[in-house]
Chains A and B, each alone.
Chain A
Amino acid sequence: AQKVTQAQTEISVVEKEDVTLDCVYETRDTTYYLFWYKQPPSGELVFLIRRNSFDEQNEISGRYSWNFQKSTSSFNFTITASQVVDSAVYFCALSEAKTSYDKVIFGPGTSLSVIP
């Protein structure tokens, strides 16, 4: 069954530090999609990135970067030079071909606090 683990429940960093949020997923499918979402204190969920299982290329978007490694079933998210506005709960999510990608399962989330 599909499963997403985010072992870090809460992380605190000082502004300008780099921080990596871990995501480990489980699936028996060879075809699947992975996502990251951000939930700031205001409560809305905001999409950050999507990656399919055939694309292991790492991605960088400004201060954000993602490291996808199929060999370890991980899809980690790094924020470089963190800012207070990065304080939020971050969720990793997975959909798999077995369920026709209709079931998108979220991890428990990692709460990031960036201290000024």
Chain B
Amino acid sequence: DSGVTQTPKHLITATGQRVTLRCSPRSGDLSVYWYQQSLDQGLQFLIQYYNGEERAKGNILERFSAQQFPDLHSELNLSSLELGDSALYFCASSSLGGRTEAFFGQGTRLTVV
């Protein structure tokens, strides 16, 4: 058990809909990452927060947004969903950003139908 909790584990939704993925980091970790893992694209970096502040952004679509709350949990919002958004979404946390190892949640499997 990595200590990182992601909910829900599975999500099936229709095109055009909006969903929210939730992540609780490991106790004490200030940094939260979001990654998208598609079958053909490996682990794509989406966004990173440190203590509530957005620190780094990857190729995150404008339809996607995220935030980290004062209690350090994070949410990833995906809107106007398309079939191609179907993927495994991972949250990870670390104590000092990319200076330290990240601990990953079990992921949320999103299926857009």
Contact = CB atoms under 8 A, between A and B. Distances in A.
B100 A50 contact: yes
A102 interface: yes
Contact of A95 (B88, B90, B97, B107): B97
Interface in B48-63: 48, 50, 55-56, 58
Q: Interface on chain B toward A: helix, strand, loop, or mixed SS? A: strand
B56 A103 contact: yes
A44 B98 contact: no
A102 B50 contact: yes
Interface string B76-113: 00000000000010101000111111111111000000
A81 interface: no
Interface size class of A (residues with CB under 8 A): 20 to 34
A43 B107 contact: yes
Interface string A31-44: 00101010000011
Given A44-B104, A102-B50, A33 B45 contact: no
Contacts of B107: 43-44
Interface of B: 2, 31, 33, 35, 42-43, 45, 48, 50, 55-56, 58, 88, 90, 92, 96-107
Interface of A: 33, 35, 37, 43-47, 50, 52, 91, 95-96, 99-109
13 contacts: A35-B101, A35-B102, A44-B2, A44-B106, A45-B43, A47-B101, A91-B43, A100-B98, A102-B56, A104-B48, A105-B45, A107-B42, A109-B42
